[in-house]
Amino acid sequence: MSNESINWDKLGFDYIKTDKRYLSYFRNGEWDKGTLTEDNQLHISEGSTALHYGQQCFEGMKAYRCKDGSINLFRPDQNALRMQRSCDRLLMPQVPTEQFIDACKQVVKANERFIPPYGKGALYLRPFVIGVGDNIGVRTAPEFIFSIFAIPVGSYFKGGMTPHKFLISDYDRAAPQGTGAAKVGGNYAASLQPGYKAKQAGFADCIYLDPLTHTKIEEVGSANFFGITANNEFITPKSASVLPGITRLSLMELAQSRLGLKVIEGDVLINNLDRFVEAGACGTAAVITPIGGIQYGDKLHVFYSESEVGPVTQKLYNELTGIQSGDIEGPAGWVVKVA
């Protein structure tokens, strides 16, 4: 696909084959130094553990075009660390942080023509590790692949920074002591049916409650939840089955240091939503998506407004996206320049 055929104003979140992807193999106890390849097909053994036992993990991150033409990665060290934790959880070899960040830079540079212009979206990077090689028993794979591909993206939720409605799901995406905190495919396989049902019913996505008691909000589809109270508190769920999002982590820091909010990681009881004057979903893909309403049983709980963005949510959005695109100075180390 040529980038001339991309309408930068209409970018959604769809696969586009870009020029090059990074590929590294783990054999005989070590990762090779990796190569860039044009081939977007993987040729792997039919016995690969990734295919049968879900031995795989992935990451999601973005590269942004700045006003001056330079390119920013946002906290890639945090994605490297999270992928290392996911690899540990599924008994896969960690990719060293240095190799991870170097591979990200290589992929961004090799696909530079696909980075959306300043303010029009971002180049989404999808790093992943999969267990491969001939195998049949339930055990860790003999070999692994670490790869990163890139696609230009715009809004994940249609309409972007406008309030969206979400449906509380009866299903769980993860178990109390399971793999919820790891970014592994099994969690997302479990989320396909509930997500599909929510969208069929006219919602942007579903919200998961805690898998043990079904009384507390955990995650908003593939994004984290935050709520703002009238007492200037930023509250986000604390749970071992929630994915520790890097956007969430960043907003917790910005809410406190730049907006002067009190940051609380704690329980978000589904029966006590009245305490929030605003609510939002946050993640690399979702950025900040205001939550206009939550449907729980036959009741729709409306937050700030079903059509307008709340002022605190807007300030958080401006601060976060300003740092990512280089318009606002971020905390030390958050932005890594490519090239």
Ligand X SMILES: Cc1ncc(COP(=O)(O)O)c(C=O)c1O
Hey, which residues are catalytic here? 183
91: left (phi over 0), alpha (psi -120 to 50) or beta: left
One residue of 152, 163, 280, 283 binding ligand X per CB under 6 A: 283
Compute the distance between CA of residue 280 and CA of residue 224 in angstroms, rounded to an integer.
8
Q: Give the residue closest to ligand X by C-beta.
A: 245
CA angle 72, 78, 79 (to 5 degrees): 80
Q: Is 59 within 8 Å of 83 (Cβ atoms)?
A: yes
Q: b/e per residue, 63-93, with b = 16+ CB within 10 A?
A: bbbbeeeebbbbbbbbbbbbbbebbeebebb
In the list 243, 252, 261, 270, the residue contacting ligand X (rule: CB under 6 A) is: 243
Nearer to ligand X, 60 or 292 (CB): 60
Q: Of residues 49, 55, 106, 247, which one binds ligand X by CB under 6 A?
A: 247
- Contact with ligand X (CB under 6 A): which of 83, 228, 246, 338? 246
Q: CB 59 → ligand X: shortest distance, Å? A: 8
Binding characters for ligand X, 291-310, by CB under 6 A (x = yes): --------------------
Measured between alpha carbons, how far is residue 170 from residues 19, 50, 166, 174, 300 in Å?
41, 28, 13, 12, 16
C-alpha to C-alpha distance for 339 and 331, rounded to whole angstroms: 20
Is 179 a binding residue for ligand X by CB under 6 A? The answer is no
Quote the least distance from Cβ 224 to ligand X, whole Å. 5
Interface with ligand X, residue 248, by CB under 6 A: yes
Tell me which residues in 25-64 interact with ligand X (CB under 6 A). 60
CB of 188 to ligand X, least distance (A): 7
Binding mask 130-169 for ligand X (x = CB under 6 A): ----------------------------------------
**Residue 160 CA from chain centroid, whole number:** 15
Closer CB to ligand X, 99 or 324, in the complex: 324
Q: Select 79 or 135, whichever has its Cβ closest to ligand X.
A: 79
Footprint of ligand X on residues 203-242 (CB under 6 A)?
Answer: 219, 222-224
Nearer to ligand X, 20 or 183 (CB): 183
CA distance 16 to 237: 34
Contacts of 110 (CB under 8 A, 6+ apart): 19, 20, 36
Q: Is 284 in the site for ligand X (CB under 6 A)?
A: yes
With beta carbons less than 8 A apart as the criterion, state whether 268 and 225 touch. yes
Which residues of this protein are in contact with ligand X, per CB under 6 A? 60, 219, 222-224, 243, 245-248, 283-284
